[in-house]
Amino acid sequence: MTQADMGHDIAAAPGSASGAPTCSADVTSLVGAHAERLENLYPSVPATVNREEGLMLYRDMTLGRRFEDKCAEMYYRGKMFGFVHLYNGQEAVSTGVIKAMKLQHDWFCSTYRDHVHALSCGVPAREVMSELFGKETGCSKGRGGSMHLFSKEHHLLGGYAFIGEGIPVALGAAFTSRYKRDALGDASSDSVTAAFFGDGTCNIGQFYECLNMAALWKLPILFVVENNKWAIGMDHNRATSDPEIWRKAAAFGMAGEEVDGMDVLAVRAAAQRAVERARAGEGPTLLECLTYRFRGHSLADPDELREEAEKEFWAKRDPIKSLAARLIEQGLATAEELKAIEKEIDAEVADCVEFALAAPEPKPEELTRYIWAED
Amino acid sequence: MAETLLFNALREAIDEEMARDPYVCVMGEDVGQYGGSYKVTKDLYEKYGELRVLDTPIAENAFAGMAVGAAMTGLRPIVEGMNMGFLLLAFNQISNNMGMLRYTSGGNYTIPTVVRGPGGVGRQLGAEHSQRLEAYFHAVPGIKIVAVSTPTNAKGLMKAAIRDNNPVLFFEHVLLYNLSEDIPEGDYICALDQAEVVKVGSDVTILTYSRMRHHCLKAVEQLEKAGVSVELIDLISLKPFDMETISASIRKTHKVIVVEECMKTGGIGAELLALITEHCFDELDARPIRLSSQDIPTPYNGALENLTIIQPHQIVDAAQQLVAGKI
């Protein structure tokens, strides 16, 4: 990518007196700058995986997809309430990053679109589904809900419902890692934190405040931007002056990288590089993953704004189908083996629903429990 | 016993707790090399190093959130608001995350943090630097709120706040840092949830906190000369209120005045009097009195500023009228 490629269809021309959006003449794509960026990505070397790793990634992404499909079904059947934001289409990011890190050692921080991150971290599907049903067996004991999944056991720092507020929390976890190593002299303290957030979040102050502090103190953190182009109904290119988010890293003197967020092996390779830098004490990375959500912003979103052509462009790049094709092509798995995994996942998802439906509600007498550290 | 200035009492508390527990750390603007704008962390940077006494950029929302994440992963941060008013910029992190996260996480995480700094109306600092955020934060669930008023309680409460496993908002007062008195030697703590009976009396109960304690003491001196026996209680804990101590006093005097520096509307006294009405309705012989600051931005002009907050003579007048049955 070059500077000339930036912000094709919406960038205000510097000389334009009106400042009105202008389109460059050579743009013929029907699907916009976001798709074009993906097509023009400088090819990165994808991660090499063996059979076991390949199947693990496939399993995780399939679990994410089918779990979310089940959530939609349960929501429309009236088993689930509130705002529910599904992750379909973005699985390569969660799986690509989290599975490149050490579970129950590194830390993970999510947003309101957090179900699949939780699953990738290893929170059992039963605990996540129970939480969505508001049950006592939920990972947040039914007190959190869809946007507030937490698991200390699995180092999930939480789902944060307001834009950007999770980033400083993730920064704090990265600070603890460095504090233990450098202030307490614990040489084994090398945990890295991954903070996930979207393109819309890259316009809020906390994002910039935290990039600055992370670079300043060389904290072991990955800022993972899931750029799915749409902040609810706001096209990324209408919301930000420079749509190439990864370039903002340069202003803070940190490593920045853009990656095909529909390609789990590309994301995995980028995450591995970033984690290696972080563990070596070389500080943070801003990783922009170009991706797309296949569903609306939430299940309450009628999704009327996005063009069919755009949706089709991204649907063709379904990250799970791509991985399946790759595994088969490389002889790491057969179509039958992948089908068998899908069947296992379907059974796991059915089991978690059954478990969550039968699980107990929180006790009314425990309404005020968990306010204070002592109870 | 040693004569100690209030800011030094706080400093001693932080120093002793940092020596006692390596997970205790300080973060905020100018807390390190500069030693804190009121010198509460003076020399601690040299003693404990740049990570344990962390100078942060001016980014309240982010460093307050960073303290939350640090606390969730094992540290015990003390966050300094250089001026408590600046914490308006950290309101989301203090409310959504410090206060609510333990609950919304179903008990997964604890957030042992102290957020401390100077609040209150100083001397002609202008409206933005003269805020009393204790009232703004009062409704946030899951946080404890204390206000210190003497070197002795400042040290004991700071140590208790640092050791507490919950988030504590710790209000100091910009005009009290140079207050000096003998404080107990060595390690002692004061309970975070207990009011202090400053003076025992029988005619009227005065409830107050922070700097207004000293205005009340001036008023009490005059009232005593006029033959009015005042029971003066420093609330210390603004959340939760120590209703046991407060109710016991009202059962004795049957008359109550609240003296506060925050604004009247939605203030600390508003909540306190609502609770007193619920708990002690039958004990009251007269309607309760609330002496609060005006509901206005604190003006710069010195004379206007004095008119904005309660002065000792107003406390004297109110108490005399109340005891004389004129209210």
pLDDT at B290: 98
User: Is B66 in contact with A168 (Cβ distance < 8 A)?
Assistant: yes
Q: Does B214 qualify as catalytic in the annotation?
A: no
State residue B1's pLDDT score: 61
Residues of B in CB contact (< 8 Å) with A are 22-23, 25, 49, 51-52, 56-57, 59, 61-75, 92-93, 96-97, 101-112, 141-142, 164-166
A86-109 confidence digits (pLDDT tens): 999 999 999 999 999 999 999 999
- State the Cα–Cα distance between residues A319 and A263, nearest whole angstrom: 6
Q: Where are the beta strands (DSSP E) in chain A?
A: 107-110, 156-159, 193-198, 221-227, 230-231, 234-235, 255-260, 285-290
Residue from B214, B210, B187, B184 nearest B199 by CA: B214
Quick one: closest CA in A to B52, which residue? A183
Q: Which backbone phi and psi does A260 adopt, to 5 degrees?
A: -70, 105
Convert the pLDDT of each residue in B193-216 to its tens digit.
Answer: 999 999 999 999 999 999 999 999
Q: How far apart are CA B152 and CA B296, in angstroms?
A: 33
CATH 3.40.50.970 fits domain B2-183: yes
B34, amino acid identity: Y
B76: part of which helix (H) or strand (E)?
strand B76-80
Are residues B72 and A213, on separate chains, in Cβ contact within 8 Å? no
The CATH class that applies to domain A41-358 reads alpha beta
Cβ-based contacts of A174 with chain B (< 8 Å): 69
CA distance A144 to B101: 9
Nearest-neighbour CA in chain B from A56: distance (Å):
28
Contact residues for A280 (Cβ-Cβ < 8 A; gap 6+): none
Cα distance between residue B309 and residue B313, in whole Å: 12
Q: Are the beta carbons of A372 and B102 separated by less than 8 Å?
A: yes
What's the DSSP call for residue B286? Answer: S
Could you state, in order of their start, the residue ranges of all structural domains in chain A? 41-358
HEC-encoded secondary structure of B308-324: HCCCHHHHHHHHHHHHC
pTM for this predicted structure: 0.94
Could you identify the residue written with the tokens 């929170």?
A123
- Please check whether residue B83 is in contact with residue B116, taking contact to mean a CB–CB distance below 8 angstroms: no
DSSP, residue by residue, A23-58:
--TT---SSHHHHHHHHTPPP-PPPP--HHHHHHHH
* Whole-angstrom distance, CA of residue B269 vs CA of residue B267: 5
CATH code given to domain B196-323 = 3.40.50.920
- Other CB atoms closer than 10 Å to residue B182's CB: what's the count? 11
Contact B114, B68 (CB under 8 A): no
- Asked if A236 and A34 touch (Cβ cutoff 8 Å), the reply is yes
Residue A316 burial (10 A CB sphere; 0-12, 13-18, 19+): exposed
Q: What is the pLDDT of residue B2?
A: 77
- Say how many residues make up chain A: 375
Q: Do B62 and A168 touch (CB under 8 A)?
A: yes
Say what the pLDDT of residue A47 is: 92
Q: Report domain extents, chain B.
A: 2-183, 196-323
CB contact under 8 A, B103 and A370: yes
Give me Rg for the CA atoms of chain A. 21
Low-confidence ranges of chain A (pLDDT < 50): 1-28
Q: Do A169 and B71 touch (CB under 8 A)?
A: no
Q: Which of B17, B29, B80, B129 is catalytic?
A: B129
pLDDT for A29: 60
Q: Are A204 and A160 in contact (CB under 8 A)?
A: no
Q: How many CB atoms lie within 10 A of CB B73?
A: 23
> Exposed (0-12), middle (13-18) or buried (19+): which is A16, by Cβ within 10 Å?
exposed
pLDDT digits (tens, 9 = 90+) for B140-174: 999 999 999 999 999 999 999 999 999 999 999 99
Residue B130 per-residue DSSP state: S
Q: Among A174, A59, A165, A168, which residue's Cα sits nearest to residue A120?
A: A59
Instruction: Give per-residue pLDDT as tens, A283-299.
Output: 999 999 999 999 999 99
∠ CA A202-A204-A209, nearest 5°, is 90
Task: Report yes or no: A202 and A248 within 8 Å, Cβ to Cβ.
Answer: yes
Q: Is A9 in a helix, a strand, or coil?
A: coil
Among chain B residues, the shortest Cα distance to A206 is held by B62
Q: Give the H or E element holding residue B259.
A: strand B256-263
Q: Which of A143, A170, A179 sits opposite B51 (nearest CB)?
A: A179
Q: In angstroms, rounded to a whole number, what is the distance separating the alpha carbons of residues B55 and B59?
A: 11
- Calculate how close chain B gets to A45, using CA atoms only, in Å: 34
pLDDT per residue of chain B (327 residues) written in tens, 0 to 9: 679 999 999 999 999 999 999 999 999 999 999 999 999 999 999 999 999 999 999 999 999 999 999 999 999 999 999 999 999 999 999 999 999 999 999 999 999 999 999 999 999 999 999 999 999 999 999 999 999 999 999 999 999 999 999 999 999 999 999 999 999 998 999 999 999 999 999 999 999 999 999 999 999 999 999 999 999 999 999 999 999 999 999 999 999 999 999 999 999 999 999 999 999 999 999 999 999 999 999 999 999 999 999 999 999 999 999 999 998
CA pair distance A54, A264, nearest whole angstrom: 10
